[in-house]
A and B are shown apart, each in its own frame.
Chain A
Amino acid sequence: MVANLRGQPHFEATALPGAGGLARGQSSLEALLAFAALLCALAVLAHAAKAQSDAFALSVERSDARISLAHEALYADLSAGMAPSAALSRNLSGVPVSGGSWLASNSSGAVREPLFHGMSADAGGKYYVQK
């Protein structure tokens, strides 16, 4: 409030003190909330991407195990009745299960390949394929 030339009080036509700061604060808060929402959305997307990457890695690992196991099962069936060879007693990625009628992967337990010839293992870890 100021006095004019006639000495009468005069009110300036301005906004209330602090109103500009309040508006700026509100804008800042809105910007902050919008930024937080954007960060949340990005975090959700990143989390979903991580889950999908993990699923993809698991799929690749299982596929790799399946291909290895299929080749080993082929080798085992073709060498049925032979003496246990070094190749059959080493570097196998699976173990015989279900009485030797299936070969199960060591790395992925769900991956199994059937065998037409029964496979058994001795105490030394060598595998025999029955004729």
Chain B
Amino acid sequence: MCKNSARKAFWSIDAAFALVLAVAMFAMFSAMLYAAGASVARGAEDASGSLLSARFSAYALQQLEAGGAPDLQWALGRTGREYASVRAGNEFAEIGARGADIYCTQRLMVREGKMVKVEACIG
């Protein structure tokens, strides 16, 4: 009888331990996949945002070189983003709500004979 109880207890502990191991391994696997997926998506989002800000800075530079000002409202409507700003020397213009993910590109341009730093941000 004692042997039988010990055998039953052994199998119960063994099965429970196997189940706990399986669940723990699955939880780790799940967490790892989620983190990897989020990391990859975040990297792609960063690359996309950085390249978008580079293109936005090209547009802003083009407008400033033409003697005008970049149309931020048009840029927001065109890109479907929520925030855009352009700083050219001491001049600054922005539109929309500044969120957490803002991508900026800084460039130099010659304006009225002087070197001016232009920073275009979009997010």
Q: Is B15 an interface residue (CB 8 A)?
A: yes
Are A56 and B79 touching (Cβ within 8 A)?
no
Are A114 and B23 touching (Cβ within 8 A)?
no
- Give a binary string over A61-76; 1 marks a CB under 8 Å from any B CB, 0 the rest: 0111011011101100
* Given A67-B48, A78-B58, A116-B56, CB of A38 within 8 Å of CB of B79: no
Q: A101 to chain B: which residues have CB within 8 Å?
A: 78
Q: How many of B's residues come within 8 Å of A, CB to CB?
A: 30
Q: Is B52 an interface residue (CB 8 A)?
A: yes
Are B44 and A67 touching (Cβ within 8 A)?
yes
C-alpha gap A70/B55 in the complex (Å):
10
A37-68 residues at the B interface, CB under 8 angstroms: 38, 41-42, 45, 48-49, 52-53, 55-56, 59-60, 62-64, 66-67
Q: Which of B18, B26, B51 contacts A74 (CB 8 A)?
A: B51
Q: Which of B26, B41, B51 contacts A48 (CB 8 A)?
A: B26
Q: Which of B22, B47, B59 contacts A70 (CB 8 A)?
A: B47
C-alpha gap A71/B79 in the complex (Å):
15
Are A71 and B41 touching (Cβ within 8 A)?
no
Are A73 and B22 touching (Cβ within 8 A)?
no
Nearest residue, chain B, Cβ from A45: B26
C-alpha gap A66/B29 in the complex (Å):
26
Nearest residue, chain A, Cβ from B18: A38
Q: Which of A52, A63, A67 contacts B34 (CB 8 A)?
A: A52
Residues of A within 8 A of B (CB): 34, 38, 41-42, 45, 48-49, 52-53, 55-56, 59-60, 62-64, 66-67, 69-71, 73-74, 77-78, 101, 113-116
Residues of B within 8 A of A (CB): 15, 18-19, 22-23, 26, 29-30, 33-34, 36-37, 40-41, 43-45, 47-48, 51-52, 54-56, 58-59, 75, 78-80
